[in-house]
Amino acid sequence: MFHTLTRSIVAIITAVLVIGMVPLPANAGGARTTVAFIGRPNNPAEAGCFGEWFGSMRNYCSTPSYFTVPLTVDAWGYYWVTVSAYGASSANNVGCQAFGVFKTTTDWASYYGSGTRYLPSFGASADIALSPVYVPGDGALFAACTINPGGQINVVKIAW
C-alpha cells in the first residue's frame, strides 16, 4: 500500500511539473480565425460574382463588390482584425474595414469603425492589418471588404 501511494504521488508531481513546462501557444484564447466563405456580398444580386475555393472568396465579376464577413466575439472590448487577401496587381486590390456594432442600431447606424486599409503588396497572399475596433457590450463585429475584379479574401482573424 505504501509503495502504491508513493508511486501515485510521484506520478502526480511529475505530471504537474511536465505540464507546467509545456508552453502554451502565444495566442491561446486570444485569437480566432474564420474563412471568408462564411460571409456574403452586401448586394444579394452579386452572389453569382463570387466563387469559393477552400474557403476563399474571389470576385469573378467585372466590377468591385462589397463583401461582409461576420466575426464571433465573446465580450465587449477592443479587437484587432486582420484580413488575409490576394490580388495579382493593383487592379485586383482589396480594401477592408472592421465595424463594432451596437445592439441598439435602428434606422441610424451606431458603430465603431476601424477605417479602410488596402493590400500592402500584390502577387501573393498578404495580410491587411486593420486598426483596433471597439465592440460595445452585447454588440457585434464584422469585417467588410471592397473586392476588385479578380481579388479575393481568404481568412479573417480577430485577436484580443
Domains delineated in the chain: 27-159 (2.60.120.260)
Q: Which whole-number Å values give the CA distances from 13 to 5, 8, 16, 22, 23, in the listed order?
A: 12, 9, 5, 15, 18
Closest CA to 40 of 74, 65, 72: 65
Q: What is the pLDDT of residue 108?
A: 73
- Residue 70 bridge partners (DSSP): 142
Listed in sequence order, the residues at least 6 apart from 40 whose beta carbon sits closer than 8 Å to its beta carbon are 47, 67, 68
Q: What is the residue type of 96? A: C
- Residue 156 bridge partners (DSSP): 34, 83
Q: What is the pLDDT of residue 106?
A: 75
Q: What's the pTM value of the predicted model, to 2 decimals?
A: 0.80
Q: What is the residue type of 82? A: T
Q: What is the residue type of 159? A: A
Listed in sequence order, the residues at least 6 apart from 28 whose beta carbon sits closer than 8 Å to its beta carbon are none
Q: What is the pLDDT of residue 27?
A: 44
Listed in sequence order, the residues at least 6 apart from 31 whose beta carbon sits closer than 8 Å to its beta carbon are 157, 158, 159, 160
Vertex 85 angle, CA 74 and 26, to 5°: 45
Query: How would you write the pLDDT of the chain (160 residues) with one tens digit per residue?
Result: 555 545 555 445 444 444 444 444 444 559 999 999 999 999 999 999 999 999 999 999 999 999 999 999 999 999 999 999 999 999 999 999 999 999 987 767 789 999 999 999 999 999 999 999 999 999 999 999 999 999 999 999 999 9
b/e per residue, 121-158, with b = 16+ CB within 10 A? ebeeebbbebebbebbeebbbbbbbbbbbbbbbbbbbb
